Amino acid sequence: MEQNISQRAVFVFFIALFCFAILLAGKLIAPFFAIIILGIVFTGVFNPVFKFFSKKLAPKTASVLTCILIFFVVLIPVVFFVGVLSKEAFTLYAMAKDAVFSNQLKNLLETTQVLERFNELLVKAGVEKVVTWDELISPISELGKFVGFSLFEQARFITSNVFNIVLYFCLMLIVVFYMFIDGDQFIKYIYDLSPLPDEHDEKLFGKFKDMAGAVLIGNGLGGLIQGVAGGTLFLFLGWNSPFLWGVIMGFLAFLPIVGIGIVMVPTAAILMLKSRLAAGVFVLVFYAVLSWGIEYIFKPRVVGNRVRMHPLIVFFAIIGGLKAYGLLGIIYGPLIATLFLTLADIYFSSFQFMVEPGKVHKVK
């Protein structure tokens, strides 16, 4: 009896000491948490490339070549992309600040006499409040200033911290390099360290891997295609800052339900108000075909049906991730939602009977 009490005391002390060590280790890697997460994600995305190189080369050589490819495929285009984005974002901010766009939109809408008819209906309904175009357009102008200034500030921050960005990117490549070589041993170590059964650990890791692929490959390439197509369309239509609008649509493409329709539908409406009916209809058809093709043809072929998550959950996961973690929230949000949903499935399948003995949940 005394031996059992002694063993429990030693175990409790060990757990307390182990938790303290985990806390200290977490504090050490906290500044590099984003680098490590991105490194793991990029490892999963470029793993097929590494396997292709490793068929003919040694693992270290294949890993080096893959990291060099990541450097040129990711970092170099981003630097160019940020430089152009900074100029166009500042142009949008200046136009919104000087009320150039809002005045053009106001003059366009005034020719339709829609608001006058609406005010007449309000008067007939007994409402004396008169609505003006300035009141309706002001939020759009403020939104334009906010979006333009925010993008400009982000782009300026990146360009003014190029050295730090390159340093962090190289640190991420170090993580990628060793994950390619020792990734299997690292995963096995995590499995051994986890108190969960191996099938649960494998389920968690598999879901994370699938979701990372869906976010970066499926949504990333889908957003790139829609952004490039949308920016090219705006260039063809003669709109200002087509590159900036392409970037905005590229990010909006990550959001299910709404997507690039936030930009495309108002664009079609403005064209129709300008008596360019054919152009407006073309924009709507272009948007419908592009969105349908990406969602129902491109993504299923690239990602497959491995990741099944309700669009509403993905929508709020990305919005909440952006608010909590900034731009990286596009990745963090869906991953956190995946963690919660996977743990919920494990709870229903393996632990619910302990908490609620008479209740059975069918896991889909």
Residues 20 and 169 in one domain: yes
- Residues 242 and 99 reside in one and the same domain: no
Is there a single domain that holds both residue 75 and residue 104?
yes
**Radius of gyration, alpha carbons of the chain:** 26
Q: Quote the domain boundaries for residue 36.
A: 1-193
User: Are the C-beta atoms of residues 178 and 39 closer than 8 Å to each other?
Assistant: no
Looking at the whole model, is its pTM more than 0.75?
A: no
Q: Supply the DSSP symbol for 195.
A: S
| AA identity, residue 11 | F
Residue ending a domain, choose from 130, 162, 193: 193
Within the chain, strands assigned E span none
Which of helix, strand or coil describes residue 356?
coil
For 249-295, the pLDDT digits (tens) are 888 888 877 788 888 888 888 788 777 788 888 999 999 999 888 87
Comparing C-alpha atoms, which of 353, 342, 24, 1 is closest to residue 196? 342
180 and 115 within one domain? yes
Same domain, 204 and 128: no
Q: Are residues 348 and 286 in the same domain?
A: yes
In whole angstroms, give the CA distance from residue 194 to residue 197: 8
Residues 58 and 49: their CA atoms lie apart, in Å, by 14
The verdict on 102 and 133 lying in the same domain is yes
Residues 248, 316 within the same domain: yes
Q: 193, 228, 261: which is the final residue of a domain?
A: 193
For the stretch 90-108, pLDDT in tens is 666 565 555 555 555 556 5
Number of domains in the chain: 2
> 172 and 207: one domain?
no
Q: Which residues of 48-68 are buried (b: 16+ CB within 10 A; e: fewer)?
A: ebbeebbeeeeeeebbbbbbe
Q: 124-138, 190-204, 226-240, 250-264: which has the minimum mean pLDDT?
A: 124-138
> Domain check: are 261 and 272 in the same one?
yes
Boundary (domain end) residue, out of 193, 214, 240: 193
* 91 & 137 share domain: yes
Per-residue pLDDT tens digits for 330-350: 878 888 888 888 888 888 877
